[in-house]
Amino acid sequence: MSVAETIDNATMSRDEETQIMTAIEKWLERDVRPVVKKYDHADEYPFPIVEQMKEMGLFGAIVHPAYGGLGMSAQTYSRVVIKISEVWMALTGIFNSHLIMATLVQRFGTEDQKKRFLPRFSTGELRGGLGLTEPDAGTDLQGIRTRADKKGDHYVVNGSKTWISNGIHGSAYAVLVKTDPAAEPKHKGMTFFIMEKDKGFTVSRKLEKLGYHSIDSAELVFSDYKVPAANLVGGVEGQGFYQAAGGLEIGRINVAARGVGLASASLKDAVRYSQVRKTFGKPICQHQAIQLKLGDMATKVEAARLLVESAARAYDRGERCDMEAGMAKLFASEAAVECSLEAMRIHGGYGYSKEFDVERYFRDAPLMCIGEGTNEIQRIIIARQMVARNPV
C-alpha cells in the first residue's frame, strides 16, 4: 500500500498515521538505506528515489486533500521527517523546500492559485522550492535586491538568488522580490511570486557543499524574466515578508525534525557499536566514559523530540509558533551536531571512515544550525517573543 492510499480525508486517525509510518519504514529499509552511500559519496541526485517519493505522495504531504495532498498535520509530518532523516537527511530537503512553497500558496494564495498550483505540487509534476537568499542578503531578507517591475498583465524580474534547494532539478519556485524598492519600512515593498522556469530564468551553477549531498543547491538568475501578475501570491503586493514568516514556521519545524533524526541516528549507531567494540576485555559500553556520553546523547535526543512535538502541536492549533519552532530548531540542530560528534568519538577511527554512516551525520548536521535562519537569529526571535508574551 502506498502512503497516498492510506488517507482520503483531512482528518488523520492514529491508525492511518501508523499505516503511513509503517509504509515509510518499509520503503526506507528496502529502497533507500542500501543506496545511501552510493548517492551521497558521488553527490548524485537520486532520481529513482524522487520518483518513489512522488508516488508515495510526499510532495503533497501537508497539502489539503481537496487539492490532492495527504493532508498531514504538522505533528505527523514532523514524525515522517524524523524517520526519513534517521536514514538519509538529504531526502527531506528535497520535499521540505517544495512544501514551504506549497504552504505559501495554501495559506496565502488566491483560490485560483490554489486550484492551479496545489494539485500539481502534490503530484510532484511541479517541484521546486523557495527563493529567498541572495549573495548579499540571507538572514536580512529586507536587503534583497531582486526586483519585479509591473508591465501590464505581467512583471519583469531581474536579479539573482543563491543557495536555492532544488534549483537545478526543480521547475517552480516561490521567489521573494522587491516590487517597491522605495517602500518604508523596507519589508512593505516585498512580494512573492510563483515562478516557473522559462525564458529569462536560468540556473548558473551547482554549489558544492561539505555535506547535504545529492540535493542540488544552485544559483538562480533572472534576466528580464516575465512572470504573470496572476502568479503574485495572494494577489496583493507588499505581503511577502509577512508570508515568508508564516511559511518558515513549517520549514523550521522540518529542520528541527531533521535534527532529531540525525541525533537519533547518531545515538542508535553509537549504542550499537559500543556493545560490539571491546577494549580492556569488555564492551566499551561498560566503560563509564562511554556511558556518560550515551546518557547525554539520549537525553538530548528525547528533549529535542519533545520540543518538535510542542512546536508542531502549536502549528496545528493555528497559533503563532515562531518562538516554539525557533526553540525546537535551535535545540534539535545543536543536538544533531553534538550527537554526531560524540558518535564519531565513540566509533574511534571507524567514525572517521566513509565505510560508516557516522561521518555523513557529522557532515550533514552543521547545516541544521544554518538553514531556515541561523541559530543566532533563533535566539533573538525566542528572546523577543518571551518579552512580547510576558509584558510587565
Residues designated as active site: 372
Give me Rg for the CA atoms of the chain. Answer: 21
Sequence letter at residue 93: G
Separation between Cα atoms, residue 80 and residue 227, nearest integer Å: 34
Instruction: Give me 132's grid cell.
Output: 529567498
From CA 155, how far away is CA 148, in angstroms rounded? 6
- Distance of alpha carbon 132 from alpha carbon 117, whole angstroms: 20
Q: What angle do CA 250, 255, 256 make, to 5 degrees?
A: 95
List of E strands, 179-216: 190-196, 201-206
How far is the C-alpha of 116 from the C-alpha of 325, rounded, in Å? Answer: 30
Name the helix (H) or strand (E) containing 164: strand 154-165
Cell of 232: 503574485
Cα 387 from chain centroid? 28
Distances (CA, A) of 30 to 33, 80, 185, 260, 284: 7, 16, 52, 22, 31
Q: Which helix (H) or strand (E) holds 211?
A: none
